[in-house]
Chain A
Amino acid sequence: QKEVEQDPGPLSVPEGAIVSLNCTYSNSAFQYFMWYRQYSRKGPELLMYTYSSGNKEDGRFTAQVDKSSKYISLFIRDSQPSDSATYLCAMSGGTSYGKLTFGQGTILTVHP
């Protein structure tokens, strides 16, 4: 079983929809939780990060962490075609502090 599980999708939504992306994990030592966005043929770029449990909002994006359930989410409101990309969750902490463990990535397409 992988340390971080993420549904690879693909996920296709109409423009303006609310998108929900999720990851589960098994390592209770993880403390930092990140979402990266990767456009085709590009490197991943950091979208949001959260420390421990709670919510964090940045514009149309909201990240949620529920450590008790070992579950993290990324919500995208008013999705745009430019949001079409692969979204990867990533985590670090505990003995793995200093390196990230990534989910498989979810391919998202927002169609006009």
Chain B
Amino acid sequence: DAGVIQSPRHEVTEMGQEVTLRCKPISGHNSLFWYRQTMMRGLELLIYFNNNVPIDDSGMPEDRFSAKMPNASFSTLKIQPSEPRDSAVYFCASTLHGQAGNTIYFGEGSWLTVV
């Protein structure tokens, strides 16, 4: 299996611009997660979907952030407008809900820099 695929791997954008991060989960997985990682706060869950439905978005920082999962094989995380404090690594992860241990598989991350 190719694993969780994220794009872009790196993005540098100017403050105020819209940023869209994309994710393709592992085929057959029915749960998808968006995490953000920074030095100060570590790994934080932003939102997770089960069977394409958002289950918990309590980690989404504010209205500038939105996430969608139109089908089982694709999800987006959008930031509009972006701000310098959004600079971080954004990870997408997936799992088969109900699988023992809920072992979650991460993508390589999207490295976002907002200047």
Contact = CB atoms under 8 A, between A and B. Distances in A.
Nearest to B92: A43
B14 interface: no
A72 B100 CA distance: 19
B107 A43 contact: yes
A103 B42 contact: yes
B42 A105 contact: yes
Contact of A49 (B42, B56, B103): B103
Contacts of B106: 36, 43-45
Interface residues of B, number: 24
Interface string A42-80: 111110010100000000000000000000000000000
Given A44-B43, A105-B42, A100 B108 contact: no
Given A99-B48, A102-B42, A43 B56 contact: no
A27 interface: no
B97 A98 contact: yes
Main secondary structure of the interface of B (DSSP, over half): strand
A43 B97 CA distance: 20
A5 B105 CA distance: 22
> Which of A41, A51, A103: most chain B Cβ within 10 A?
A41
Contacts of A45: 105-106
B46 to A, nearest CB: 10
Contacts of B91: 43-44
9 contacts: A32-B102, A34-B103, A41-B111, A42-B108, A43-B107, A46-B105, A49-B103, A51-B100, A51-B101
